[in-house]
Structure 1
Amino acid sequence: MAKLADAITVSIGGEAIELRPSLRFAIRIERRPGSFAGLLREIMDGSLTATCEIIRDHADIPMLETRILDNGLDALREPLVRYVLALTGMDEPEAANDNGSKAKGKSQPFSEYLSGLYKIGTGWLGWTPQDTLNATPAEIMLAHDGRMSMLKAIFGGTDDKTDKPQSDISLDEKFRGVFGGFGTKIVQRRA
């Protein structure tokens, strides 16, 4: 199950800035060259340009580059990575395949996944386009789950999850897609 995104706050020159991982920004990041994986790579490499690109979406700060350099890029790396991962709508790792089995589902480009979330928000949930674009991917998925539960309570239905019009991409496949360019691999913890 998706979890609502925690508030992601960064401090630039003593000013706290909340980075809200809304669908609007997820669509914009997906369309940029390199998409999510490219942006993550730039953040990990300490790119001032990538850092400014994210923060400018959320605050208008004069002389942003200078203030970030005064603050230090390393302090911003962890919250920016969490922000980009929240934009993808990824669940927490412990929720993925507890039984160790490989998830069933087909691969889907992030552009289709994000447009599917938009369709859920404006179609299934009846939200305005503005409300849908301002919601986080996790909020859209949880609201959809709530709507489906309500409809099942009213009209009856099965408890299987086969009727969900959400992404068929497993969490492992999402991580592989995002982190594939880094050459990383998933390591399971030993109990």
Structure 2
Amino acid sequence: MQKFDTLTGVAAPMPIVNVDTDMIIPKDYLRTIKRTGLASGLFAELRFKDDGSENPDFVLNKPAYRNAEILVAGDNFGCGSSREHAPWALLDFGIRCVISTSFADIFYNNCFKNGVLPIRVTPEQLALLFDDAERGANARLTIDLAAQTITGPDGGSIHFDIDPFRKHCLLNGLDDIGLTMEKADAIGDYEQKLAESRPWA
């Protein structure tokens, strides 16, 4: 998993509440188990018209936000079904961080397992971040995971809380497999001792 330490990038404002996982990545794109190639389906029903052309009113289709790496979103982001394709699609598009006042639990957990940082802030802080994001490509946010801060284009800083274990995993690029591999020597020793003590097994 790609490490997350410091990210400075364009933040796209999406002040929509209850964005569910079907809105993030529609069910038509769930036929694959690959984590790549899903960028085209991200917010497909919002990004594209019925004829397949781009919807110019959708934020990620606007020139200032086409390369957004941060999403500032409304309450209860990632609700709905538990599809892990949602964080896969965000990451494949290039979005490494989502900021909201609240997230659905399963989506929130899946983000950490896939290198996407979900940040919870207060409604007052979110309003300030929406103001920053609405300035466009020249107003970048800096996310410092180690310091647990979001710094706006004017230098103002917001502190956010995060579980220490999840922070450790993101800083070191450790998903579940990576965490297991950290114990590879201990696992190997155990398997060897087990084979010696139970040769018939």
Higher helix share goes to which structure? 1
Pair member with larger Rg? 2
Q: TM-score, normalised on structure 2? A: 0.29
Q: Higher relative contact order by CA 8 Å / sep ≥ 6: 1 or 2?
A: 1
Q: TM-score, normalised on structure 1? A: 0.30
